[in-house]
Structure 1
Amino acid sequence: MIAPEPKSVAAVITEWRTNSHADVLLSRILEPEAWGHPKPFGLKLAAVYADQFPENELCRSYCQKYNIPIFPTVKGAIGVGTSEVAVDGVILIGEHGQYASNGLEQTLYPRRRLFEEVVHAFRLFKKRVPVFSDKHLSYDWLFSRWMYDLARHEGIPFMAGSSLPVAWRLPALNIPIGTELTEAMAVGYADLEAYGFHALETLQCITERRRGGETGVLSVRCVTGPRVWEEEKAGLWSKALLDELTPARQAAFRDPGPIRPTPSDALFLVNYRDGLKGAVVMLGSVGSCFAFSGRRRDVKEPDAAVFMLEDHRPYGHFGHLLRAIEQMIVTGHPSYPVERTLLTSGLLSALMQSRHEGGSIIATPHLADLSYQPADWPYAPGPVGTPA
């Protein structure tokens, strides 16, 4: 059987250096065997636009090696130097690079600007192809919603998000669509924007599977430091659910150590429209751990699993993310709903505002009717490191 011709993609990126998101996604397309994949991806890199070229950049060397043109404009990359859309899809990676921060300590990555330039090229060339946008849509809710609405208006198949929903789960955790959840908590660590987004996607990829699907969020709140543990004593999140993760942490990490309060701790509280209360605890003592813990109605045993990343090259979870991107570009249909990432982008923006205001409750009427149904896209199978 003859393998189908790979689909061509244009990469629109902020920068490409060792272990950047551009590296762990685009280099996989070019050299799948070097990244541990016995089966190549059904994609070929046709052109690149890079916003920045740091001293340690890899973009020029990779593109020279594989005869891939680098264009000074997004339009040039989409057209591969022609006056038409000359690719089957676009991978937008607006992560890493030297960009300013705002007063909420959010890095102002130009994802909205780059997406606008992609759509401008589509309009000029009178053709639309699928677009994947890495991580959250934007640091700003209005920019995120604008990107989502523009994609819908233009009829662009659009997907975005984190690698956490497709990462390994220890132990295996399958929440059937339609499950009635009574408690839901995610665990994360480190920077509240860059890594807090991953933790929110960890929470959301489970809570969206509850009975009725996602129906929206009424309000959020973020507190930090000792107040995290004061809120636990007040019953706003469950230390018992955190403790349920102990066996999974012990299985996943050689010496996970005890969880204890630290000055860098933070708590995200998410008040869902249908009454579910979600929580994310970002803990300085948890190690490099993302996890989910929750309860189903009338089920005695809790659901508790570490969402496991491969924390060294070849960073295999990005291979599983790339398979989802590949599926969208090959079929023209998103592998899972972009609404998940629209919601997590809005949550994160509001939570950063709450932190800036000292832990105020932020009403989110703009998220209250953000409803969608989940998809059954699989997470990474087998032991950690199993290649996609």
Structure 2
Amino acid sequence: MPPKKVAAVVNEYRKWSHADVILRNLLSGYPDGSRPNMQLVSLVTDQVPKNDMSRDLAKKYGFKICDTVADALTLGGKRLAVEGVLSIGEHGHYPTNEKGQLLYPRRRFVESICEVFEKTKSSVPVFNDKHLAATWDDAKWMYDRARKLFVPFLAGSSIPVTWRKPNVVLPKGCELVGAVQIGYGPFEGYGFHALEGLQCMAERRKGGETGVTAVTCHTGKAMWEALDAHTWTKPLLEAGLKRATAHAPGDMRALTAKAADAGSFEIEYRDGFRAFVVLPNGWVHENEGSPFIFAGQRKGADKPDVCQFYLQQPDPFAHFAELTKAIDSLVGTGHAPYPVERTLLTTGVLDAAMTSRHEKGKRIETPHLTIAYTPTEWGPAKGEVPKSEKR
């Protein structure tokens, strides 16, 4: 079967940018030597830094550098000329709003893509890297626009598809008492990854996903007071932190109280389930595989289900190969391997958390996050993690 021709719209294309670690799999294959059934035929770069790689790669691999999204999707003609689009709106230099949200041009990219679909009266699968947009209004617009044009749509983080150590896959329909997801790093950018880790587990609880009622962002002492208010949180947090092997010496609570970007997201689900994302920045360090760690307690279970979402780094960042495999399935079948509604929900939760932090820990009610969906069985990576090496 000939490879599917795809276009990519990216913020910037430099070494180790998301454009690089995803598109390299199309150009030179996966770390294990196999290849996706996709061929990059055109590329638009919104910004071109001094260390841009795209122009040299275009000469080497023969894809077209385009000035506009329309040109990339039609290859200069009047009809849609590609079978899939990758929108990678990550990295580059963009403004930040008063809430601390990075205003990447993800909605603008999808608007331009959908304009071509509407004009040519045809559409193809689209992948949107990471959360849909900084704000809920933009994210919902993107989701609704894709649905109106019957676009097979996929989005999200590499966290749900990477290796899990141990390989915990919660049984569908399990009764979860509560869950804690540990993360680290930049509050918005990596807080999203932690939310995706939490959600790919929480969505498997009894009754399926029905949405979120309220979100509260806790910082300083309130971060720990909120966690201490529940009997199930302490054992889950302690079980998860045992896998965070790299951390600063000293008292975790004292260190996180001093860190400007430490905090937690308290998430109240519509069915009564409650979970926390904990970002103990100032104490936790990036360790082998990453400190993205899930801990959940199932009703009647003797001990929590705990796993580390393992990120292979440095090069070749093989967890992005696992994400590319999901994109390959999307483009090849015309169906998203897992629901875009998961990322619509995590995007909305993140926006509410950033609003709550901006409003000094106010509880943000989220009636707009009445988002119901059923999880699929597209699970984590299998087999051994490839050895790190320079590519």
Q: Check conservation: 1:171, 1:248, Cα contact below 8 A.
A: no
Q: Check conservation: 2:182, 2:240, Cα contact below 8 A.
A: no
Residue in 2 that maps onto 1:353: 355
Residue in 2 that maps onto 1:384: 385
Structure 2 residue 163 is matched with structure 1 residue 168: yes
Q: Check conservation: 1:10, 1:45, Cα contact below 8 A.
A: yes
Structure 2 residue 133 is matched with structure 1 residue 132: no
Residue in 1 that maps onto 2:153: 158
Q: 1:383: how far off?
A: 3.3
Residue in 2 that maps onto 1:310: 312
The amino acid that maps onto 1:55 is K
Runs of 4+ in 1 over 2 A off after TM superposition: 230-237, 245-250, 255-259, 382-387
Change (3 A) 1:174 1:87: same
Residue 52 of structure 2 aligns to a residue in which SS?
coil
Alpha-carbon distance between aligned partners in 2 of 1:257 and 1:153, rounded to the nearest angstrom = 53
Which of residues 9, 27, 51 in structure 1 aligns to 2:24?
A: 27
Residue 347 of structure 1 aligns to a residue in which SS?
helix
- What pairs up with 1:44-83 in 2 under 5 angstroms? 44-83=39-78
Residue in 2 that maps onto 1:12: 9
Q: 1:41: how far off?
A: 1.1
Q: Check conservation: 1:249, 1:256, Cα contact below 8 A.
A: no
TM-score in terms of structure 2 length: 0.93
Percent sequence identity over matched residues? 44
The amino acid that maps onto 1:286 is V
Residue in 1 that maps onto 2:85: 90
Residue 244 of structure 1 aligns to a residue in which SS?
helix
Q: Check conservation: 2:17, 2:91, Cα contact below 8 A.
A: yes
Q: 1:186: how far off?
A: 0.5
Structure 2 residue 255 is matched with structure 1 residue 260: no
TM-score in terms of structure 1 length: 0.94
Superimposed CA distance per residue, residues 7-40 of structure 1 (whole angstroms, 9 cap, x where no aligned partner):
11000111100000000011121011xx523211
Instruction: List runs of 5+ in structure 1 lacking aligned partners.
Output: none
Change (3 A) 1:84 1:258: farther
Change (3 A) 1:259 1:185: farther
Q: 1:239: how far off?
A: 2.5
Q: How many residues align?
A: 378
Residue 57 of structure 2 aligns to a residue in which SS?
helix
Residue in 2 that maps onto 1:332: 334
Alpha-carbon distance between aligned partners in 2 of 1:256 and 1:175, rounded to the nearest angstrom = 32
Q: 1:278: how far off?
A: 0.9
The amino acid that maps onto 2:252 is R
Change (3 A) 1:359 1:237: farther
Residue 322 of structure 2 aligns to a residue in which SS?
helix
Superimposed CA distance per residue, residues 126-159 of structure 1 (whole angstroms, 9 cap, x where no aligned partner):
2100000000000010110011011111100000
Superimposed CA distance per residue, residues 324-364 of structure 1 (whole angstroms, 9 cap, x where no aligned partner):
00001000000100000000000000100000000000000
Alpha-carbon distance between aligned partners in 1 of 2:249 and 2:168, rounded to the nearest angstrom = 23
Alpha-carbon distance between aligned partners in 1 of 2:7 and 2:344, rounded to the nearest angstrom = 23
The amino acid that maps onto 2:179 is A
Q: 1:259: how far off?
A: 7.1
Q: 1:257: how far off?
A: 6.8
Q: Check conservation: 1:231, 1:237, Cα contact below 8 A.
A: no
Residue in 2 that maps onto 1:375: 376
Residue 353 of structure 1 aligns to a residue in which SS?
helix
The amino acid that maps onto 1:13 is V
Residue 109 of structure 2 aligns to a residue in which SS?
helix
Change (3 A) 1:11 1:217: same
The amino acid that maps onto 1:381 is K
Q: Check conservation: 1:200, 1:280, Cα contact below 8 A.
A: yes
Change (3 A) 1:239 1:216: same
Instruction: List runs of 5+ in structure 2 lacking aligned partners.
Output: none
Q: Check conservation: 1:144, 1:342, Cα contact below 8 A.
A: yes
Residue in 2 that maps onto 1:227: 222
Q: 1:230: how far off?
A: 2.4
Change (3 A) 1:377 1:143: same
Q: 1:258: how far off?
A: 7.5
Q: Check conservation: 1:78, 1:121, Cα contact below 8 A.
A: yes
- What pairs up with 1:204-283 in 2 under 5 angstroms? 204-235=199-230, 238-250=233-245, 260-261=252-253, 262=256, 263-264=258-259, 265-283=262-280
The amino acid that maps onto 1:18 is K
Q: Check conservation: 1:170, 1:248, Cα contact below 8 A.
A: no
The amino acid that maps onto 1:357 is E
